[in-house]
Structure 1
Amino acid sequence: MTPAAHISAAIEILAELSARRRPAADAIKDWGLSHRFAGSKDRAAIAGLVFDALRKRASAAHVMGEETPRAVMLGALREARGLAGEAIAALCSGEGHAPAPLSEEERERLANATLADAPAHVRGDYPEWLAERFAEAFGDAAEEEGRALAARAPLDLRANILKSSREDAMRRLAHLHPEPTPLSPLGLRLPAGPSGRGPALAAEPAFVKGHVEPQDEGSQLAALLCAAEPGEQVLDYCAGGGGKTLALAGQMHNRGQIYAFDDDGRRLTPIYPRLERAGARNVQVRAPRGGADMLADLEARCDLVLIDAPCTGTGTWRRHPDAKWRLAPGALAARLEEQRELLAKAPLYVRPGGRLVYVTCSLLRDENEAQIAAFLAEHSGFAAVPAEEAAAAAQLPELARFASSLGLGLRLTPRVSGTDGFFVCVMRRG
């Protein structure tokens, strides 16, 4: 396929996404299954175009004056790819499988349209209904934060210290040119390829043998701020696929016990092969069984309870740019209710003197500082650990600079920390 044909295919997929509310990855996969002639490199190039268009959907549509799939793709070629109007015109020849030639209006807009008069949510490429919440969270920096969330994310890995060190993992992956992450002492960062995608880890012996695990640096830091110690009793209350469970097992050097629980047993399915590959032997998976109380024996016994709470995922938009346009106000309301329920139940398992750690990959104050303030108002037996103290306990004192200015806890964002967006608050039971 030619580059021009890739653009036509991307427009076709964007049209499918505008007609049906579904994950972009599913639409891209379905397109590939129905167009078998497209090779893996073609599919990667098309996916890169689709995701770039979704990252810049608002600004691209503003530039072109409409929000059709073609307009968004053309605008994104300028806004995301930096192509000049003439270069875009050359790709849109109408010949073969190329998009139709540019109209005079399209040429004019690509040459002269600006974002100078656009509102912050357009310049920052985030949904208009979140504009007030972004302003609340970031003030005058809302547009910049949005633009950072609209950028491509690198591929971060965590060295599994049950089997390797970061230095050893970097040697094993030297052919991929990894760099150490600036904040996590366990992280490796791999550069993205031209399509914006990282290497195929499934073919890498270092991954297959469990020496490294994909995990954004922000997620690594959230796990490190739990300050899990060997010998402790730990409950990962929303374990899901087990990303933070694995990180905690490494911190504990397989000593002590981690109980991995999730109220939806289907989410736990990936954890079993991941635990085996990582060599994590101190994890008990507590999957739901009908109406049985799977955690009754843990009441007031845990040194650490981690709530990796379900959330809107606004901090992960670099990796899932379609999610920001699929997110609806009703979803936020549902997540807030789930978070309140988790914060009501989890304290039951924290022993006196133990820690409750609340984590989201959201940047919205409603899901973060506001939830913590409400929790502490209702649970006088808990107190928030100051950011400086939490960072010091994790042996990462430099993280104290990410203390939230909106309340208790720490905030990581792509603009400020170069990671996905995360919120972490450590609380201690008296």
Structure 2
Amino acid sequence: MADTPEALTQQLLQAAKVAGADTCDAIVVSGTSLSIEVRDAALEQAERSEGMDLGLRVLVGKRQANVSISDARPEAIRDMAERAVAMAKEAPEDPFIGLADAAQLATNLDTDALELADATAEPDPATLQQDALMTEAAALGVDGVSQVQSATAGYSSNDIWIAASNGFSGGYRRTSRATYCTAIAGAGDGMERDYDGDSRVFQSDLRDPTEIGLSAGQRAVDRLNARQPATGTFPVLFDERISSSLLGHLLAAANGATVARGSGWLRDKLGAQVLPSTMSVIEDPHRPRVTGSRLFDAEGLPTQRRAIVQDGVLTGWTLDLANAQKLGMTSTGNAARGVSGPPSPSNWNVAMTQGDKTRADLLADMGTGLLVTSLIGSTINPNTGDYSRGASGFWVENGEITYAVNECTIAGNLHDMMLALIPANDARAHLSRNVPSLLLEGLTLAGA
């Protein structure tokens, strides 16, 4: 039998059953990645990796264990299965674990319509190097840029297959093509840096490398001569580049694993208003050419479009089978896993409702305040929602950007912040987290 990911999952399941597992599931990931980095118009680093990782979860009664290896030889698989069963027998019982019933399993396994993989041939190293060189040259051509910290171009492809003893067996292939640049402007203690980049499933969708380099260079120059802002309470506009971090805090608090532990600042908010009534958060795992798309989750359940927040109201948690059992609910088809651990809840493609104003319109509306383009570190209490982060960006006076800002802290509480969001209309449609710039009134700034 050929050692394809599909065939290897069946070998893993068979070995687990022979070793004494009651039920089991397996995942195999076979991948290739290529990365080229240039510096000073010359090749700095070239990396290529090819490998295969095998993961096996076995259940003996209500006890489970996970083992992973990178050796596909039959004897290695046999030893892996025996080791996993021995570990499971010593593990504590968990009354909530188990595989999906056969009737729950996804039946549509044809992922072609999702366009997860580009059929175009893998780019050769010379092509990637040329992209990186173009990016670096464009950044260095921006007046005020003193050096380029990194200019890289890369490609990856992964074949993933998941199978379980309940009869599920399905897989897919993913590709990714990316270009990134980090530019530095100024000199000495006055140095500032910023970046730009793009990552797409299809090579033909990737932004031009010159555009990326120019943008990275200009962003770095714009940050020169930064100052600390005044301390006080001001409007804060989260730029689209970093606004998804706010959505990330909401999604983390609505994760079933968090809720099942009795923690999270949303734990008592199911059915309550958590966003303005004009805003929703929609998860859609079936968007073509988007990295978070999939037809089935890591437990073989069908994925579905769903509203996490509908018209401002929190409608449900993000659940896998085990956490749904703990909460007396049904899985939402959101199980994710790697080769070395059991499934856990995760979100797929998520979009937050956009507004009808541009970012420039929101800047004009805010009058005087802070435009945040970068966040540094965090002190966030996941149970109370108390929020404090280091930030940098630009000070706004009378709706106009006046100077760069650094070394400040923004603070508030996520409960209040989420209810006060005002969205722009600038979300990028190809991202798996589709979030526009977000304006918030009345955050506390600690600066000079």
Do the two structures share a fold, i.e. TM-score over 0.5?
A: no
For normalisation by structure 1, the TM-score amounts to 0.26
Greater percentage in helix: 1
Greater percentage in strand: 2
